[in-house]
Amino acid sequence: MLDFEKSGGLIPAIIQDAQTLEVLMLGYMDEEAWRKTQIEGRVTFFSRSKGRLWTKGEESGHFLHVVSTHIDCDRDTILVKAKPQGPTCHTGSRSCFGTDYNQNFIFELAKIINRRYEFPTADSYVNRLRERGLNKIAQKVGEEAVETVIAALAEAEVDFINETSDLLFHLLVLLREKNISLETIAKNLESRHQ
């Protein structure tokens, strides 16, 4: 149960991209906004400037679809993990904090690979790998792993960066071929960390 009284009826709600974990924005919710968010599955705030409930995206169509909600230990802050439908910030940026999305590009790359699997085109390298089958994809990951090790031991930093990028890309293709999401791997790593 949230403690709305502690801060005068409004509590902060941090919105985070459920896939990339990027912090997208901060808003405030009263009890009614919290209920509406839970019922409709779209993030709704109490707008202090408008003096009313405001569902993010009601004008722009850039809704924040709720994936999960989490209440902090003091019961006075909400973390909402959401799937953004377009940019979150009114400036057109993904995040109101102007963060560098490059740090999360690996998740975006996994989505691109998924789309290439769902909508294959002849000129797509991902499609050509897929057509070669699981054994060839796994072999390619092995080749890239060996090249990464060689670059780490005997080549320039730029070569090591390029080989590591190739390895990660091909590993993402192998994960997709096996129908295992990057999030599954992240959760597994997180559980090992404890």
Classified by CATH at the fold level, domain 5-84 comes out as Ubiquitin-like (UB roll) (3.10.20)
What mean pLDDT do residues 58-84 have?
94
| Residue reference for tokens 């973390």 | 79
**CATH superfamily label, 105-191:** MazG-like (1.10.287.1080)
Q: What pLDDT sits at residue 156?
A: 94
Tell me which residue has tokens 């897929």. 130
H or E stretch at 69: strand 64-71
Domain ranges for the chain, please list them: 5-84, 105-191
Flag whether pLDDT at 20 surpasses 80.
Answer: no
Q: Is the pLDDT of residue 135 over 90?
A: yes
Q: Closest Cα to residue 64, out of 45, 91, 46? A: 45
- Tokens 């092995």 correspond to what residue? 142
